[in-house]
Structure 1
Amino acid sequence: MNIKTVPATDKWTEYTLTNEAGMAVSILDFGGIITKLLVPDREGNLENVVLAYKNVQDYQQNPNYFGALIGRVAGRIEGASFNLSGKNYTLEANEGINHLHSGSAGFHQVLWKTEPFQTNHAVGLMLSHSSPDGEGGYPGNLTVTVTYTLTNDNRLLMDYEASSDKTTPLTLTNHSYFNLSGNLKNTVDAHAATIDCSQVVELDDQLIPTGNLMAVEETPFDFRAGRMLGDGLNDEFTQNQLAGSGYDHYFIFDNKQEQKVVVQESASGRQMAIETDQPGMVMYTGNGLDDTLLLSEGKSRKYLGVCFETQGSPASLHHKNMPNIILQADETYKTQTVFAFSLMK
């Protein structure tokens, strides 16, 4: 195991955590961005399984949020506003009239304080940040720590902890785009996914939740017994079409399985299982990607990666039947998501 530190730019530092199996994750202090994740295939070849820019300076803008920590609130907030305890709060409208991933003041644009660490079984990096009351339009002085831990059994843990001196909306996530084919050899069409979910949140044509929960039965959203992501990428089902021919939806977990998601790519033999205490996730299949971005292994293209954004639902700010994201003053926000890598059996 080791931790390697290199300057990424004149202001940013990149930390690479490597375990005893050779698996490695590279993380910038800027945005807490995962820039590389090397995972073995069935032949033992270590290859990158996340989308990343070839030029590190491109993360300065990063409109697709590659690898970044997202907060204070991950996802879309309808009308770039919300009401809390009788008071209206106005946010930056950075996607039409709506607010996406906390706008330009979001945590993906923050230079985090970092503290690497090592134990007998793991290597890690703790990132911390303080967001002042009113930043981005949100109430409360907020302190946040996010800890990435890579264990020797190829588990990548993401631990989030935060507290605020005022009641405030909060739901944090990581926005890595995964591609288990390795080094972006193929799009994610042939990734098979199993998801512990029988209801998803219906979207309108602006990708804003309508407030309706949609049963997954007999739709391309039914992953309970496993199916290919490609099933929904070319489907004529209205919800897939609204998302740009793919998925960009909040899946509410049934909590019947410890592993909420299992993803497999048969050509490489890689498997990724997701464990989390979050109530659901947004699965986004890279529907908005095109060939204008230069990535570490070549040009980007549609469906080149898939995000599993474990989080609460910002739609709860406008609809009461969604997983809540309100953090009470002086309470502790604490949640964990684990990405466990192995080989298909």
Structure 2
Amino acid sequence: MEIFEKVLGISNNKEVICYSISNSKGIEVKILNYGGIITDILTPDRNNKRENIVLKYKNWESYIDNTSYLGALIGRTGGRICNGEVYLGDKKLVLSKNYNPNQGHGGSEGFNKKFYEVKCEILQNEAYVELSRTSPDMEENYPGNLEVKVKYILTEDNELKINYYGKSDKDTLVNMTNHSYFNLSGNGKEDILNHDLYIKSKSIVELNENQAPTGLLMFIEGTEYDFTTSKKIGKDINGNHPQLINGKGYDIPWYLEEGDGADLELYDEATGRVLEVYTDRKSIVIYTHNYPDDEVLENNKSGQWRYGVAIEPQNPPIGVDSCFVEDSILKEGEEYVSQTVYKFEVR
């Protein structure tokens, strides 16, 4: 196991530093101290050719605004909060409506736009980069001084584990996730429509016309959203399901079933690369890059529609009439602990 660091440049009078963790199997993960951003996950294909399997901006400066949240740590809460308003007990929180008319991904200056203190350690069979900061009371109008730690652990078993931790001195809301866009073709050579996807889910969280949860689950057997048997992402993406049309592609939480095995599997037949995802969260948001930005990517192209699939394990976002809010409440003095595991294989 090895860890290296490299200063990429200066933003807001602070150094933007890239930390690289690598194992003996050819897996390498690169994380920024800004935004907790994963810029690279380098893995070999079946011919042992090593390439990046997450979308990456060509220039590091593009990560400062990062309107697509490429690779970013999302917090305090992932997804949309309906109309930017939510009740926490009997207290009404009024949040920024940066996803008009909703609040999205933690607000105008969420965790994706913060610098973090960094701690690194190499152990016998794993190495990690831990990012930490305190989100101050009323940052983005969330109550409580929230102590945040996010640990990115790469193992010799070809697993990337992301451990999330939070503790607040007031009741608050926490629902963190990561917003990496996966593309197993390597270095963004092709779109993701030929990727095979499996999701351990029989229902999705119903969204209203503004993409906020209604509080209901929709059973998906036999619909375009049914990935209980692995199928290509592009097979039904242009279907007539109302939720699909409203999102201009897949952009919704799948509610996960309990049981053994991976919660999600992504496979690219052309390269043999396999990604398995295991999470302790109740849902996984899948977003098929339906609204790409104009920043130049690693492949020297921009505005590439459906060139990545964001896989965002989290609890269901807060919707109409504060539905699902109980899944995001962190009580004063209690600990928020969550883990998602990404396992990389070749088939």
The bucket for the TM-score relative to the shorter chain is over 0.9
Match of 2:295 in 1: 293
Whether 2:244 is the aligned partner of 1:271: answer: no
Q: Deviations over 1:161-181 (max 9, x none)?
A: 111111111100000000001
Whether 2:171 is the aligned partner of 1:190: answer: no
Q: 1:319 Cα shift?
A: 4.9
Match of 1:29 in 2: 33
Q: 1:256 Cα shift?
A: 2.2
Partners of 1:323 and 1:279 in 2: how far apart?
Answer: 12
5+ long unaligned stretches in structure 1? none
Whether 2:51 is the aligned partner of 1:42: answer: no
Question: Where in structure 1 do 4 or more consecutive aligned residues deviate above 4 Å?
Answer: 319-323
Name the SS for the 2:236 alignment partner.
helix
Contact 2:4 2:20 in 1 (8 A): yes
5+ long unaligned stretches in structure 2? none
Match of 2:340 in 1: 337
Select between 70-79 and 231-240 the one with higher mean Cα deviation. 231-240
Name the SS for the 1:104 alignment partner.
coil
> What count of residue pairs does the alignment treat as equivalent?
342
Match of 2:4 in 1: 4
Match of 1:171 in 2: 175
Contact 2:51 2:186 in 1 (8 A): yes
Q: Deviations over 1:286-335 (max 9, x none)?
A: 01115x22011221311000011001122267354677111111110001
Partners of 2:71 and 2:122 in 1: how far apart?
Answer: 23
Name the SS for the 2:318 alignment partner.
helix
Name the SS for the 1:120 alignment partner.
coil
Contact 2:80 2:319 in 1 (8 A): no
Contact 2:317 2:324 in 1 (8 A): no
Whether 2:252 is the aligned partner of 1:249: answer: yes
Whether 2:215 is the aligned partner of 1:215: answer: no
Match of 1:102 among 95, 99, 106: 106
Q: Deviations over 1:93-138 (max 9, x none)?
A: 1111210101222100000110111001112100001011111010
Contact 2:122 2:128 in 1 (8 A): yes
Name the SS for the 1:298 alignment partner.
coil
Name the SS for the 2:83 alignment partner.
helix
Name the SS for the 2:108 alignment partner.
helix
Contact 2:62 2:295 in 1 (8 A): no
Q: TM-score, normalised by structure 2?
A: 0.96
Contact 1:83 1:317 in 2 (8 A): no
Match of 1:123 in 2: 127
Partners of 1:30 and 1:338 in 2: how far apart?
Answer: 22
Q: Deviations over 1:212-264 (max 9, x none)?
A: 211011211111111111123221222111101x1110111011233100110
- One-letter code of the match for 2:195? H
Match of 1:160 in 2: 164
Partners of 1:249 and 1:165 in 2: how far apart?
Answer: 32
Q: 1:211 Cα shift?
A: 2.2
- One-letter code of the match for 1:285? T
Q: 1:71 Cα shift?
A: 0.1
Contact 2:86 2:322 in 1 (8 A): no
Q: 1:209 Cα shift?
A: 1.5
**Root-mean-square deviation over aligned CA pairs:** 1.3
Partners of 2:190 and 2:41 in 1: how far apart?
Answer: 17
Partners of 1:270 and 1:12 in 2: how far apart?
Answer: 31
Select between 89-98 and 311-320 the one with higher mean Cα deviation. 311-320
